[in-house]
């Protein structure tokens, strides 16, 4: 009799988790890459990568210079909005240089995307 009760509890928990999981859709982050100040070659600035409206919250973000991670970046806490959509910001102080490519690399649910920033924008 106890074994039947345990099996029913396991079944109920499994059904509940399945229903909750179905209500949380996977949504890729919207990504914006920009500088804090208007960009100017040779002038110190901050490169910012803002992600929002994503689910689930497992995400990694890197700021890149010619494909190499820029050290010293700071990431905000992961925050959520209505409907459990998440957002966060990562930024780093840098000095834009001509001929150098800057980007934000985002990995979410095993999919990696690169989002370029251009000093001329």
Q: Give the CA-trace dihedral at 53, 59, 60, 62, to 10 degrees.
A: -10
Rounded distance between C-alpha atoms, residue 56 and residue 40, angstroms: 36
Does the residue 37 lie in any domain? yes
Does the residue 33 lie in any domain? yes
Q: Please check the confidence at residue 45 and state whether its pLDDT lies above 60.
A: yes
Over residues 20-25, the mean pLDDT reads 55
CA dihedral for 79, 84, 87, 88, sign (positive or negative): positive
Rounded distance between C-alpha atoms, residue 73 and residue 79, angstroms: 18
Rg over alpha carbons for the chain, rounded to the nearest Å, is 20
* Distance set, CA 4 to CA 8, 10, 20, 67, 87 (Å): 6, 10, 24, 57, 44
Using one digit for the tens of pLDDT, what is the confidence trace for 46-93? Answer: 999 999 999 999 999 999 999 999 999 999 999 988 788 999 999 999
Does the residue 76 lie in any domain? yes
CATH number at residue 90: 2.60.40.10
Does the residue 3 lie in any domain? no
Taking CA 62 as the corner, what is the angle to CA 52 and CA 106, rounded to the nearest 5 degrees?
Answer: 45
Does the residue 2 lie in any domain? no
> What tokens were used for 38?
């208007």
- Expressed as residue numbers, the domain containing 66 is 25-117
Does the residue 8 lie in any domain? no
Q: How many domains does the chain have?
A: 1
Give pLDDT, residue 81. Answer: 81
Give pLDDT, residue 38. Answer: 94
Overall pTM surpassing 0.95 (yes/no): no
Does the residue 93 lie in any domain? yes
Does the residue 51 lie in any domain? yes
Give pLDDT, residue 25. Answer: 87
């Amino acid at each position: 009799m106890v074994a039947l009760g345990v099996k029913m509890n396991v079944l109920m928990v499994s059904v509940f988790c399945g229903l909750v999981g179905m209500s949380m859709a996977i949504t890729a982050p919207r990504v914006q890459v920009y500088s804090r100040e208007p960009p100017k070659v040779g002038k110190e600035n901050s490169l910012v990568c803002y992600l929002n409206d994503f689910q689930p919250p497992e995400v990694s973000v890197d700021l890149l210079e010619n494909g190499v991670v820029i050290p010293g970046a700071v990431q905000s806490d992961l925050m959520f909005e209505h409907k459990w959509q998440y957002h966060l910001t990562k930024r780093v102080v840098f000095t834009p240089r001509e001929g150098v490519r800057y980007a934000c690399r985002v990995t979410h649910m095993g999919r990696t995307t690169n989002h370029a920033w251009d000093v001329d924008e």
